[in-house]
């Protein structure tokens, strides 16, 4: 059985004549996820944070909610539901796999 250690991976790609790209990969149980509504300039936000990196998601241009913002929020919701379903599926399969590995 291999040990999987938690980590957060951040990359920054800057190439001539190309858009800058930042990638953040969270592979840690220490991930904190928050959502709320900012009071000073009312708009929703979603935050993913570890000790190493934060990702904040909010409305277009930090302005009022647009149709595009609603579409993105629905995509996030649906993707999170699929992620949960896949985690639950694989988690329930792990004890069965471990039992067959030790029986051999």
pLDDT, tens digit, 9 for 90 and up, residues 46-91:
999 998 899 999 999 999 999 999 999 999 999 999 999 999 999 9
Q: What is the reported pTM? A: 0.78
Cα angle at 12 between 72 and 67, to 5 degrees?
A: 15
**What's residue 103's pLDDT?**
55
Contacts of 21 (CB under 8 A, 6+ apart): 11, 12, 13
């Amino acid at each position: 059985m291999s040990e999987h250690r938690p980590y957060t991976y951040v990359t920054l790609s800057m190439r001539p004549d190309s858009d800058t790209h930042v990638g953040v990969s969270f592979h840690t149980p220490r991930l904190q996820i928050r959502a709320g509504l900012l009071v000073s300039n009312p708009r929703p936000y979603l935050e993913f944070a570890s000790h190493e990196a934060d990702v904040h998601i909010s409305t277009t241009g930090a302005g009022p909610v647009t149709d595009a913002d609603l579409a993105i929020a629905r995509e996030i919701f649906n993707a999170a539901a699929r992620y949960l379903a896949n985690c639950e599926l694989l988690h329930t399969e792990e004890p069965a796999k471990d039992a067959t590995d030790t029986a051999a």
